C-alpha cells in the first residue's frame, strides 16, 4: 500500500555521529547548533523546525530554522540539565508563505492581486479552524482586517506581508504532509567540569617527611591548599589500593625489588584486599573520605585511577581464576607489551565465559568509589578492554550518577581513541605530548577542533605523565617546561601535569627512553617543591589567567593565524559574543630568541586598519597600543617564551591611553 507522499527531503544533518549511533557531547549552558539540507521539488516555500527535548520530557520544543543558502538550514537550542537530550527536524511545503511570496511578486510588478487576496483569506480561515485559543483572537483580527481592506491593494498588501501573521499560522496545527527526519539524535550533557579543568597528579605515598617514610592521606591534606592555591580544580591520585608482593618491581622497574621497595601502585591487590580496599600504609577508608572532604572544601575534586588489572596476589586470582588467562604449564599470563614486560601485573581475561559476572564486579568497584564521594576517574589503558564493556559500564554508572566523568588514558591509534570517546569517555589523553613543531601542533589541534571529532572527543593535554618524559622536556631545560605549560593550558580547555616533576622541571631520563630516571612509579620520592627555578608561581598565574578569561574555557574556539617565523606559533581564542579576546604567541624553540611579525586578524576582531587597540600581555604584564594587523614580537625563551595578549578593541576616551601607558 502506498504511503502518503512527502515532498520535503531532509538530509546532511549535522552534528550526527555515525548515522546517529552515538550522542554528541555538550556541557550545561552550551548551545547545540544544528544544520541540515532541507529542500523539495518545485518552487514552493519551505518551513523547517528544529525539535528538541530533555530525556524525561515527552513534548518537543520547537525552534524555527533559518535558510543559510543553497538549501542549507540552521537553528540552535541551549541545554540546561545534564543527561540525554534529543533533537530532530521536521519540515513541510508551506502554502501560506508560498502565497505570501507569490502575492509580493505580483504586487511588485503592478499586477492585479484581487484573486490572490481572496486565496489568502481562505488560508487564514482554514488556519482559524485549527487555531489554539492563544492565537485565535489575533489571527481573527488579521483575517477581518484583510477582508475589510481587500479592495485597497496597498493596505491589503501591507497586512499580508506581516511576519506576525505567518507566525500565527505556524502556530496552528494545520493538516499538512510533514517530513520528519527519520532519527532522533542524542546529546549527552555533562557538568561544566567536563569541558574546563586543570589536573594535578601526585603520589600520596611521596607526601611523607622524607623518602624513607611512606606518606599517608593525612600527610596529603597539607598539600591540598597549595594545589588549590596554584589554581587546579582536580587532584588525581594513582591507584590507592594494596600493592602485590609477588614479582614486585624495584627502583627503575628492575624485575626483582627488595623487601623495602613499595612496588608499583598499578600492581593492585594483596592479601589485604583488592580494588575496593585502601593500602593501609596510606591510611583507612575513612582517612581517604576525609581527604576527599578536605579537597572539596578547597574547590578541588579528587580523581581516582581506575586500573582494571591485578597483581598475582589479588583476591580475584584465588576466588575467580576463570577471570584470568592461564598458560598450558599452569602459570598465569602476566601483562606484556614487547619489549616491555610487567611481571607484577596480570590482565583480566575479558573473553572468559564468565564475562557477565566479571562485568558486574567491575561495575561494583566503580560504584563503590562513587558512593564514597569520587566523581572523576582516570581510566588506565581502556583500549586494552572490550569496547562493548566500556559502553555498558559508563551507561550503567551514568544512569544513577550522571555527573560522573571518565578520562581515557588511551595512548593508542586515533580511531581507537575516537571510538572510546564515542562510547562515553568524557575526556581523553592525546598526542599533544609529542607534537612540538608549528606544523604538528596546527595540524593536530585543527583535527581536534575543526572536524566531526570536536562533537565527541574532548582533549586533555598533558605535557608529561609518570610514564612519559618527552624528549622535548629532557633537553629543552626550564624554557621547554614553560612552553609546554602555556601550550597545554591555552590550546585545550582541559589540561594536566604530573605535578612535582613538572613544577621542578625534572628532566633526567633513562638513556634512550622517554621514561623518568628514578621514576616515582617504583619508589617513594621526597620532593623539595621550594627549589630555586620551580614553576609554581608561573603555574599559579597561568591557571588564574585561565579562570578569569572565558575564551579559554573551551577548546573548539581556537584559531591559528599567520606569523612570519616557523618557530613561532600564533593563535587566538574569542568568546562567542567577542567580549573576551585572547591572542597567544609561543616561541617553540627553547634554546634561541625568535622574533617575527604576527598578523592580527583585524576583521575577525571587528577592528579597522586605522583603529588603535590595546593589548595587555597577561604573562609579563606589559601593555601596548597597536594599530594595523602587522605587529613585531620577540620572545627570549630564557626570559619568557610566550605572550598571552588580552585585546581591548575600542578606546573611547583619551584617558584610556594614559591608563594603559
Q: How far apart are CA 571 and CA 559, in angstroms?
A: 5
**Which segment of 95-104, 411-420, 541-550 scores lowest on mean pLDDT?**
95-104
**Lookup: cell for 365:** 568497584
Confidence of residue 659 (pLDDT cuts 50, 70, 90): very low
Q: Say if residue 497's pLDDT is above 90.
A: yes
Q: What's the mean pLDDT in 318-334?
A: 94
**Lookup: cell for 463:** 605535557
Q: What's the mean pLDDT in 584-612?
A: 96
Catalytic, 409? Answer yes
Q: How far apart are CA 161 and CA 101, in angstroms?
A: 9
Which neighbouring-strand residues pair with 235?
200, 302
Q: Which residue reads 568524557 in cell numbers? A: 426
Q: Do residues 458 and 194 make contact, with C-beta atoms less than 8 angstroms apart?
A: yes
Confidence of residue 564 (pLDDT cuts 50, 70, 90): very high
Write out the DSSP string of 324-364.
Answer: S-B-TTS-B--EEETTEEETT-EE--TTSTTHHHHHHHHHH
Write out the DSSP string of 535-590.
Answer: -HHHHHHHHHHHHH-GGGG-STTEEE--BS-TTEEEEEEE-TTSS-EEEEEEE--S
Q: What's the mean pLDDT in 495-520?
A: 97
Confidence of residue 405 (pLDDT cuts 50, 70, 90): very high
Q: Say if residue 356's pLDDT is above 70.
A: yes
Identify the CA nearest to 275 among candidates 369, 347, 345: 369
Confidence of residue 657 (pLDDT cuts 50, 70, 90): very low
**Lookup: cell for 594:** 625568535
Q: Say if residue 574's pLDDT is above 50.
A: yes
Whether the CA torsion 654, 545, 537, 633 is positive or negative: it is negative
Which neighbouring-strand residues pair with 635?
594
Catalytic residue, candidates 30, 116, 195, 409: 409
Is residue 20 classed as helix, strand or coil in its secondary structure? helix
In 141-192 the beta strands, taken as DSSP E runs, fall at: 179-180, 185-190
Q: How far apart are CA 437 and CA 417, in angstroms?
A: 22
**Which segment of 167-181, 284-298, 568-582 scores lowest on mean pLDDT?**
167-181
The residue ranking higher by pLDDT, 101 or 33, is 33
Q: What's the mean pLDDT in 639-646?
A: 98
The angle at the Cα of 500, spanning 620 to 347, to the nearest 5 degrees, equals 130
Which neighbouring-strand residues pair with 310?
346
pLDDT digits (tens, 9 = 90+) for 246-277: 999 999 999 888 888 999 999 999 999 999 99
Confidence of residue 661 (pLDDT cuts 50, 70, 90): very low
Q: What's the mean pLDDT in 402-424?
A: 97
**Which segment of 192-201, 207-216, 562-571 scores lowest on mean pLDDT?**
207-216
Write out the DSSP string of 579-641.
Answer: S-EEEEEEE--SSS-EEEEEE--HHHHT--TT-EEEEEETTT--EEEEESSEEEEEE-TTT-S
Catalytic, 455? Answer no
Phi, psi at 315, each rounded to 5°? -55, -30
**DSSP-assigned letter for residue 271:** T
**DSSP-assigned letter for residue 478:** H
Whether the CA torsion 215, 220, 223, 228 is positive or negative: it is positive
Q: How far apart are CA 584 and CA 561, in angstroms?
A: 10
Q: Say if residue 87's pLDDT is above 90.
A: yes
CA 654 from chain centre, in angstroms, equals 42
Q: Do residues 177 and 92 make contact, with C-beta atoms less than 8 angstroms apart?
A: yes
The residue ranking higher by pLDDT, 149 or 502, is 502
Q: How far apart are CA 542 and CA 487, in angstroms?
A: 11
**DSSP-assigned letter for residue 261:** -
Q: Do residues 12 and 37 make contact, with C-beta atoms less than 8 angstroms apart?
A: yes
Is residue 516 classed as helix, strand or coil in its secondary structure? strand
Q: Do residues 128 and 173 make contact, with C-beta atoms less than 8 angstroms apart?
A: no
Q: In 10 A of CB 114, how many CB atoms?
A: 12
Q: Say if residue 654's pLDDT is above 50.
A: no
Is residue 445 classed as helix, strand or coil in its secondary structure? helix
Confidence of residue 656 (pLDDT cuts 50, 70, 90): very low
Catalytic residue, candidates 380, 455, 520, 617: 380
Confidence of residue 660 (pLDDT cuts 50, 70, 90): very low
What domains are there in the chain, each with its CATH number?
A: 8-189 (2.60.40.10), 198-240+278-308+348-549 (3.20.20.80), 558-660 (2.60.40.1180)
Q: How far apart are CA 504 and CA 536, in angstroms?
A: 8
The residue ranking higher by pLDDT, 546 or 146, is 546
Confidence of residue 2 (pLDDT cuts 50, 70, 90): low
pLDDT value for 29: 96
Q: Say if residue 576's pLDDT is above 60.
A: yes
pLDDT digits (tens, 9 = 90+) for 210-246: 888 999 999 999 999 999 999 999 999 999 999 999 9
Q: Say if residue 419's pLDDT is above 60.
A: yes
- Mean pLDDT rounded to a whole number for the chain: 94
Amino acid at each position: 500500500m502506498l504511503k502518503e507522499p512527502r515532498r520535503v527531503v531532509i538530509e546532511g544533518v549535522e552534528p550526527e555521529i555515525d548515522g546517529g549511533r552515538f550522542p554528541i557531547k555538550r556541557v550545561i549552558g552550551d548551545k547545540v547548533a544544528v544544520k541540515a539540507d532541507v529542500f523539495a521539488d518545485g518552487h514552493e516555500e519551505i518551513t523547517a523546525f528544529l525539535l528538541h527535548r530533555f530525556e524525561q520530557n515527552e513534548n518537543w520544543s520547537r525552534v524555527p530554522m533559518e535558510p543559510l543558502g543553497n538549501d542549507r538550514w540552521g537553528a540552535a537550542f541551549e541545554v540546561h540539565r545534564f543527561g540525554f537530550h534529543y533533537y530532530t527536524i521536521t519540515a513541510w511545503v508551506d502554502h501560506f508563505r508560498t502565497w505570501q511570496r507569490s502575492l509580493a511578486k505580483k504586487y511588485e510588478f503592478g499586477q492585479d492581486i484581487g484573486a490572490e487576496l481572496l486565496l489568502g483569506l481562505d488560508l487564514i480561515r482554514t488556519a482559524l479552524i485549527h487555531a489554539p485559543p492563544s492565537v485565535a483572537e489575533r489571527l481573527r483580527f488579521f483575517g477581518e482586517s484583510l477582508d475589510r481592506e481587500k479592495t485597497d491593494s496597498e493596505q491589503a498588501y501591507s497586512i499580508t506581508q506581516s511576519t506576525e501573521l505567518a507566525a500565527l499560522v505556524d502556530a496552528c496545527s494545520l493538516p499538512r504532509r510533514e517530513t520528519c527526519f527519520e532519527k532522533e539524535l542524542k546529546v549527552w550533557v555533562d557538568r561544566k567540569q567536563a569541558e574546563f579543568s586543570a589536573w594535578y597528579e601526585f603520589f600520596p605515598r611521596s607526601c611523607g617527611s622524607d623518602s624513607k617514610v611512606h606518606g599517608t592521606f593525612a600527610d596529603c591534606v597539607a598539600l591540598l591548599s597549595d594545589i588549590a592555591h596554584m589554581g587546579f580544580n582536580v587532584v588525581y591520585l594513582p591507584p590507592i589500593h594494596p600493592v602485590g608482593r609477588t614479582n614486585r618491581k624495584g627502583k627503575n622497574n628492575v624485575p626483582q625489588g627488595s623487601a623495602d621497595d613499595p612496588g608499583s601502585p598499578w600492581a593492585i591487590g594483596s592479601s589485604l584486599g583488592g580494588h575496593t580496599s585502601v593500602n593501609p600504609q596510606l591510611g583507612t577508608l575513612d582517612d581517604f573520605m576525609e581527604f576527599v572532604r578536605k579537597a572539596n572544601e578547597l574547590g578541588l575534586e579528587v580523581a581516582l585511577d581506575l586500573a582494571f588489572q591485578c597483581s598475582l596476589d589479588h583476591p580475584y586470582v584465588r576466588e575467580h581464576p576463570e577471570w584470568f588467562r592461564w598458560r598450558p604449564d599452569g602459570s598465569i599470563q602476566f601483562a606484556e607489551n614487547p619489549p616491555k614486560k610487567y611481571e607484577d601485573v596480570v590482565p583480566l581475561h575479558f573473553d572468559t565465559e564468565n564475562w557477565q559476572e566479571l562485568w558486574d564486579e567491575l561495575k561494583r568497584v566503580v560504584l563503590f568509589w562513587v558512593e564514597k564521594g569520587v566523581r572523576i576517574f582516570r581510566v588506565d589503558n581502556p583500549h586494552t578492554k572490550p569496547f562493548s564493556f566500556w559502553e555498558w559500564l559508563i551507561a550503567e554508572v551514568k544512569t544513577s550518577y550522571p555527573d560522573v566523568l571518565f578520562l581515557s588514558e588511551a595512548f593508542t591509534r586515533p580511531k581507537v581513541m575516537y571510538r572510546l570517546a564515542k562510547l562515553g569517555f568524557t575526556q581523553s589523553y592525546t598526542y599533544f605530548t609529542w607534537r612540538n613543531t608549528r606544523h604538528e601542533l596546527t595540524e593536530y589541534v585543527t583535527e581536534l577542533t575543526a572536524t566531526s571529532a570536536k562533537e565527541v572527543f574532548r582533549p586533555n593535554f598533558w605535557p608529561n605523565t609518570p610514564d612519559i618524559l618527552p624528549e622535548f622536556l629532557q633537553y629543552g631545560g626550564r624554557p621547554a617546561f614553560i612552553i609546554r605549560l602555556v601550550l597545554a593550558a591555552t590550546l585545550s580547555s582541559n589540561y594536566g601535569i604530573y605535578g612535582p616533576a613538572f613544577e621542578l622541571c625534572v628532566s633526567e631520563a633513562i638513556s634512550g627512553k622517554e621514561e623518568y630516571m628514578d621514576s616515582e612509579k617504583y619508589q617513594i620520592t621526597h620532593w623539595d617543591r621550594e627549589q630555586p627555578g620551580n614553576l609554581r608561581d608561573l603555574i599559579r598565574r597561568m591557571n588564574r589567567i585561565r579562570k578569569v578569561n572565558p575564551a579559554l574555557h573551551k577548546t573548539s574556539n581556537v584559531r591559528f593565524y599567520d606569523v612570519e617565523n616557523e618557530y613561532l606559533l600564533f593563535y587566538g581564542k574569542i568568546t562567542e559574543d567577542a567580549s573576551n579576546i585572547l591572542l597567544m604567541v609561543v616561541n617553540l624553540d627553547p634554546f634561541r630568541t625568535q622574533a617575527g611579525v604576527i598578523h592580527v586578524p583585524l576583521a575577525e576582531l571587528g577592528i579597522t586598519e586605522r583603529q588603535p587597540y590595546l593589548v595587555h600581555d597577561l604573562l609579563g604584564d606589559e601593555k601596548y597600543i597597536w594599530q594595523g594587523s602587522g605587529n613585531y614580537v620577540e620572545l627570549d625563551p630564557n626570559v619568557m617564551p610566550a605572550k598571552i595578549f588580552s585585546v581591548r578593541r575600542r578606546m573611547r576616551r583619551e584617558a584610556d591611553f594614559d591608563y594603559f601607558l
